[in-house]
Amino acid sequence: MAVSNGHTTARRPLPCGIYAPTMTFFDSETEELDIPVIKKHAERLAKDGLAGLVTMGSNGEAAHCTREEKLAVTRATREALDAAGFSSTPIILGATEGSVKGTIELSKEGEKAGADYVLLLPPSYFRGLMDEEAIEGYFLAVADGSPLPLVLYNYPGAVAGIDMDSDLLIKLAKHPNIVGTKFTCGNTGKLTRVALATNAKTPGSEGSGYMAFGGMCDFTLCVKVWNLYAEGKTEEAIKLQKVLSRGDWYLTKAAIAGTKQAIQSYFGYGGYPRKPLKRLDQTRISAIADGIREAMEVEKSL
């Protein structure tokens, strides 16, 4: 059970483990949502041992989707998980909108679509007016009005350079409807400070239940690395992490288009991002497939 805005509601908990941002797949000609492939991908992620899924994050091309499409993807993901026997797997919905009102509305609709939590960036369109007071006010107002608990999303590259510091994140974490932070800023020092101050959940302790998320990469290998670490097999985890880091760089450089083509190369689906993101030529597609080959061979052996 969880308490949100003074009401006790049934809520799927956020277990420790690996979470992945799901890609949003489109028809290669019309660029309409490809719901069957979206469902197929969600089922594959869950079967590979992920603790939870994130719909409409940066990798999900949230910036390219309408509110109705965001809800449709979330609904399809929930349906796929439930049908495959993963009804306890939580969904985090990227629900950032420019205003408090819009974000709360999307959070309410997201709950109806099957989301359990929302992932929120700070507002950034009026960058010059977004000082710390305005950002804090935005998150607190949304937390007061959202039926879904908030996971804060610190990703300066997506919000005109806004980089929330640890003091602000720790302050916001005191709100009962703010339950975690995703540190796509890559600042492990900041992550550690927030984790310590909030007594964040770890494999060995529930702590306060607050979640401090790092970045995401190849999910199946991540699950294996996580499991090895949780089992105390640190040396094996480090060895596998080295393989993971080598493959991850090829996907990081190629971004969304490259990740989709990597999925296409190894799993037979993936397609292309929505325009104006460019489609890759065959030379780059082959280079990506070769670059992640070591990681994929290890993945297939698991």
At 125, give phi and psi (nearest 5°). Answer: -60, -45
In angstroms and rounded to an integer, the radius of gyration of the C-alpha atoms of the chain is 19
Q: Is 64 in contact with 274 (CB distance < 8 Å)? A: yes
Options 182, 201, 224, 260, the catalytic residue? 182
**153 catalytic per annotation:** yes
Q: How many CB atoms lie within 10 A of CB 294?
A: 13
**269 catalytic per annotation:** no
Q: Are strands 7-9 and 2-4 parallel, antiparallel or unpaired?
A: antiparallel
Q: Is 290 in contact with 249 (CB distance < 8 Å)? A: no
Options 19, 117, 138, 153, the catalytic residue? 153
End-to-end alpha-carbon separation of the chain, Å? 34
Element spanning 40, H or E: helix 35-47
Please, which residues have CB within 8 angstroms of residue 250's CB and are 6 or more apart in sequence?
A: 258, 262, 287, 288, 291, 292
Give catalytic residues, as residue numbers.
153, 182
